[in-house]
Amino acid sequence: MTDRFAERLLDWYDKHGRHDLPWHHDRSPYRVWVSEIMLQQTQVTTVIPYYRAFMERFPTVRDLAEAPTDDVLSHWSGLGYYARARNLQKAAVRVMEDHGGKFPDSQEQLEDLPGIGRSTAAAIIAQSRDRRAAILDGNVKRVLARYHAVPGWPGQASTLKALWTHAEEHTPSTRVRDYTQAIMDLGAMVCTRSRPACDKCPLQGGCEARARHEIDLYPGRKPKKEKPEKVTWMLILEDPQGRVLLELRPPSGIWGGLWSLPELDPAYGAEELEEACEQRFGVACSQPGLISGFRHTFSHYHLHIQPARLRVTGSQGINEPGNHRWLHRDEALALGLPAPVRSLLANPEQAALL
């Protein structure tokens, strides 16, 4: 049985929803899964070119499982939240090793894979199998919180529980694939975070937040917390052949597993960078030239980056050689790089200002 909520939503979707996104073609569990992971905290318009390039390079779960991690991360570079890419490959390996290359058919088994939670597992089942499973991504939370005037921030356990209850009760038994796309589309296109188009919403007649004239109160806001400020030196060490030194980040944490420019503690003054580089990397350098600093914001802190360019004048023998590479810029740009590092290396005119 389909309730009136789902009926209205499906009628709207048939006329106004998105029916031709790249992952709507050949909706295999693998293709749906990749799209769902990319779409986490990322807009559709941003994801589309990344998705197409990713699927061209890794058309099957086997291709992804067997690919070099650097290759996977390079195709994710710029999307952010790089743990998603690392978990994507870990899950691909598990699918090959534990499930013979076929995605498991149950929600419980899907949730057991790295990086797949309850909503993502449900989306894979609903979108690829057209089987009933309730989803609750950010857009869906917003629609349901407003429609039912659910108080509180969705990150709180009681609020999340109430939203899951509503998600389950409204998910129909038929046209589940269309319904899950419809409610995501409604949140993305009509019931938006700011300035929602309530007059175009098919659910406006039953929306409690609209009836109370309290749309802006739902969903509840996350309690504000000031982000700490951090500072770092980011070094562009260039050898006589024009190669730049890159450093492999630890596998977990910020930019985990990506290649980055080496960093030094901000306690060093500019005049101390030469000596610091010799001590840490075992190379002799010229005096540093400074590039304009900038701020990069992570989910939980702001990082003030002060780039400095130093030309290597002596040996290029590096301490910890396994974690460092001398690469020309075009070679470096083919690797998985954090967005600010990619920007610095891709804009040599910026370095020319030194």
Crossing angle of helices 44-57 and 29-39, rounded to 10°: 140
User: With helix as H, strand as E and coil as C, how does 309-341 read?
Assistant: EEEECCCCCCCCHHHEEEECHHHHCCCCCCHHH
Cα within 13 Å of Cα(307), Cβ side: 25
Q: Roughly what angle, to the nearest 10 degrees, separates helices 138-147 and 176-189?
A: 80
Alpha helices in the chain (DSSP H): 4-16, 29-39, 44-57, 61-66, 69-76, 83-99, 107-111, 118-124, 138-147, 157-170, 176-189, 208-211, 273-281, 329-332, 339-346, 348-351
List residues with catalytic annotation.
36
DSSP-assigned letter for residue 271 = G
Neighbours of 118 (CB within 10 A): 15
